[in-house]
């Protein structure tokens, strides 16, 4: 009887050891793949961030990839010029050269989504409009393509990495981008940011390692595409509040990217933060004070005093800035993951 009991005890210990080994393997495997959920409202810079990861930690963009984006760059040029023509009308700004008014009518009538080429006479029309004193009076960052019309209109044009980073294609559905970094797979997931897309994904994610939430600093004076009387930053704050209080994300680290800091620096000189956020009591035309105020409004939404909100100011189109920031983010994510599995 004693011998039988001893054999059973040995077998039980063996089984326990196997279970423990399997648990350790599961922990190691879980550590090898980290899921990063990229969240934020539409046009906050999520897709640009994914592109940067492909450039910095992936294989970048092949010539074939670039050729596939030529049409989208052309469409963005028409879309940008049409936006400025509309701004001319809204602001009642006259054209410096009256002959450009007819060119504006022609360009505005183009369905930019159907554009596949960039040829005469449209190249000349857009170039003339871009150089018009009236258009220059209402321009914004759309100049990034418009100032390169001569280069982009060449027959052998191939988009540069900067062209790719700046090209705008609204994200619909879910896009995953995995990349290997120091023997760990980072699986970055980008989702549609518009309200119509959000309901498709908001309840679908559990056990993500980190929430990476992007805020466009420059949107403090803008309204939503889907609802033209709601401030974009207020919508971003509402989404952030929702995300950080979901039980599904209770164990996920939260990293807040206050993006488009370069646009904030430009815009704050003429568009005053206090006009949109009366509680702001800092100096006018001060980008540092403005961004610190915006950061605080987001951090204050965190109801859990024990949960740290990690934050970074970014310019998603600046590869070196994103390289530097993501190195810090990677360390934060890895440390958090080690703690989660009781490995530190």
Taking the chain (344 residues) in runs of 10, the rounded mean pLDDT of each run is 65 74 62 84 88 92 96 95 91 93 97 96 96 83 72 95 88 80 85 59 72 95 74 93 87 94 93 95 96 98 92 95 92 77 50
Q: Can 48 be counted among the known catalytic residues?
A: yes
Do the annotations mark residue 325 as ligand-binding?
Answer: no
Q: What is the DSSP letter of 274?
A: G
Do the annotations mark residue 45 as ligand-binding?
Answer: yes
Strand partners, 191: 174
Do the annotations mark residue 20 as ligand-binding?
Answer: no
Q: What is the DSSP letter of 94?
A: P
Whole-structure pTM over 0.85, yes or no? no
Tokens of 306: 């024990």
Do the annotations mark residue 231 as ligand-binding?
Answer: no
Q: Can 2 be counted among the known catalytic residues?
A: no
Q: Which of 52, 75, 163, 190 is catalytic?
A: 190
Q: Which of 127, 141, 168, 198 is catalytic?
A: 168
Do the annotations mark residue 296 as ligand-binding?
Answer: no
User: Around Cβ 173, how many Cβ atoms within 10 Å?
Assistant: 10
Q: Which of 48, 52, 209, 297 is catalytic?
A: 48
Q: Can 332 be counted among the known catalytic residues?
A: no
Q: Which residues contact 202 (CB under 8 A, 6 or more apart)?
A: 242
Are 38 and 49 a contacting pair, CB within 8 Å? yes
Do the annotations mark residue 170 as ligand-binding?
Answer: yes
Q: Which of 82, 160, 162, 194 is catalytic?
A: 194
Determine the Cα–Cα distance for residues 110 and 117; give it in Å rounded to an integer.
12
Q: Can 154 be counted among the known catalytic residues?
A: no
HSE-CB for 273 with a 13 A CA cutoff: 24
Write down the pLDDT at residue 343: 46
> How would you classify residue 92: left for phi > 0, otherwise alpha for psi between -120 and 50, otherwise beta?
left
Do the annotations mark residue 262 as ligand-binding?
Answer: yes
Do the annotations mark residue 167 as ligand-binding?
Answer: yes
Write down the pLDDT at residue 87: 87
- 252 phi, psi to nearest 5 deg: -90, 140
Q: Which of 43, 219, 235, 265 is catalytic?
A: 43
* Structural domains of the chain in order of their starting residue, each with its CATH number: 38-60+174-332 (3.40.50.300), 63-165 (1.10.400.10)
Do the annotations mark residue 43 as ligand-binding?
Answer: yes
| SS3 label, residue 184 | strand
Do the annotations mark residue 237 as ligand-binding?
Answer: no
């Amino acid at each position: 009887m004693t011998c039988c009991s001893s054999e059973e005890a040995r077998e039980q210990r063996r089984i326990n050891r196997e279970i423990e080994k399997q648990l350790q393997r599961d922990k190691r495997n879980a550590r090898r793949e980290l899921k990063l959920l990229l969240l934020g409202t539409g046009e906050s810079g999520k897709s640009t961030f994914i592109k940067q990861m492909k450039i910095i930690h992936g294989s970048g963009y092949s010539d074939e990839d670039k050729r596939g984006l030529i049409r989208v760059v052309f469409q963005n040029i028409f879309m940008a010029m049409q936006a400025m023509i509309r701004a001319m009308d809204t602001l009642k700004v006259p054209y410096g050269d009256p002959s450009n008014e007819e060119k504006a009518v022609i360009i505005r009538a183009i369905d930019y989504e159907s554009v596949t080429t960039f040829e005469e006479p449209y190249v000349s029309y857009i170039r003339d409009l871009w150089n018009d004193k009236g258009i220059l009076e209402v321009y914004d960052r759309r100049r990034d393509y418009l100032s390169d019309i001569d280069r982009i209109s060449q027959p052998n044009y191939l988009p540069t990495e900067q062209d790719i980073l700046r090209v705008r294609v609204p994200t619909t559905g879910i896009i995953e981008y995995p990349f290997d970094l120091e023997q760990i797979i980072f699986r970055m997931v980008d989702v549609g940011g518009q309200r119509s897309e959000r309901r498709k994904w908001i309840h679908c994610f559990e056990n993500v390692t980190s929430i990476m939430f992007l805020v466009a600093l420059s949107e403090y004076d803008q309204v939503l595409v889907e609802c033209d009387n709601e401030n974009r930053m207020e919508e971003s704050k509402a989404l952030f509040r929702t995300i950080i209080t979901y039980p599904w994300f209770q164990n996920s680290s939260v990293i807040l990217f206050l993006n488009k800091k370069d646009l904030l620096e430009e815009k704050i000189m003429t568009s005053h933060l206090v006009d949109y956020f009366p509680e702001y009591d800092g100096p006018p035309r001060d980008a540092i004070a403005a961004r610190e105020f915006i950061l605080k409004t987001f951090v204050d939404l965190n109801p859990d005093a024990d949960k740290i909100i990690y934050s970074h100011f970014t310019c998603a189109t600046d590869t070196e800035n994103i390289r530097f920031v993501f190195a810090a983010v990677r360390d934060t994510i890895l440390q958090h993951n080690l703690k989660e599995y009781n490995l530190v």
